[in-house]
Amino acid sequence: MLDLKAKLAAAGLVSKADIANAEASRNRPGGRGPGDRGPGGRGPGSASSSRSTPAAPRQSGLPIAALRGKPKGEIYDTVRRFVERVRLDIVGVPPTEAAEPFHFPAPTGRVGRLMLEPDVAAGVRDGTAALVSYMSNHGLAHAVVPADAGRDIAEVMPLWLRMLLDDPRAGQIEKPVEKPPR
pLDDT tens digits, 81-113: 999 999 998 888 888 999 999 998 887 778 889
Strands (E), the chain: 100-105, 111-116, 129-136, 139-146, 161-163
State what percent of residues in the chain have pLDDT above 70.
74
Mean pLDDT across 53-68: 64
Using 50, 70 and 90 to split pLDDT, how confident is the model at 46?
very low
**Residue 123: predicted pLDDT:** 92
Sequence-distant (≥ 6) Cβ neighbours of residue 61 within 8 angstroms:
82, 85, 86
What angle separates helix 147-156 from helix 72-86, to the nearest 10 degrees?
A: 180
Asked if 124 contacts 102 with a C-beta cutoff of 8 angstroms, the reply is yes
Mean pLDDT across 37-59: 42
**Is pLDDT larger for residue 15 or for residue 78?**
78
Query: What are the backbone angles phi and psi of residue 171, rounded to the nearest 5°?
Result: 80, 15
Asked if 107 contacts 163 with a C-beta cutoff of 8 angstroms, the reply is no
163 pairs with which residues across the strands? Answer: 131
113 pairs with which residues across the strands? Answer: 103
Give the model confidence (pLDDT) of 139-161 as tens digits: 888 999 999 999 998 888 888 88
